[in-house]
Amino acid sequence: MEAEWCRISHHVHRIEFLQIVRDAEIAYAISPVVRRHRLSAEETEKFLVELRIPRAANVAQITNRLVVNCSQKASSELATQN
């Protein structure tokens, strides 16, 4: 009985992990467009929902973090060059 529960739990965690990886892959793919058009997380989520992307809110948040982190990194690199 306990072995069955562990197997099911492992399977659920694997599904969740794969969903997170898929979300990150989508976020990475769309981040240049989001950056170019300066979309907020809310705007990104709206467009992803219209495109029927699963877990749109999660993808939008990951994308927003990618864009913000890239912008901060670029700003700090410029500051150290000056």
pTM above 0.85, yes or no: no
Question: CA-to-CA distance for 50 and 56, rounded, in angstroms?
Answer: 9
Domain boundaries, the chain: 2-81
Complete DSSP assignment for 7-59? HHHHHHHHHHHHHHHHHHHHHHHHHHHHHHHT--HHHHHHHHHHTT-TTHHHH
pLDDT, tens digit, for every residue of 33-66?
A: 999 999 999 999 999 999 999 999 999 999 999 9
Q: What is the pLDDT of residues 9-39, one digit of tens each?
A: 888 999 999 999 999 999 999 999 999 999 9
Query: How high is the mean pLDDT of the chain?
Result: 89
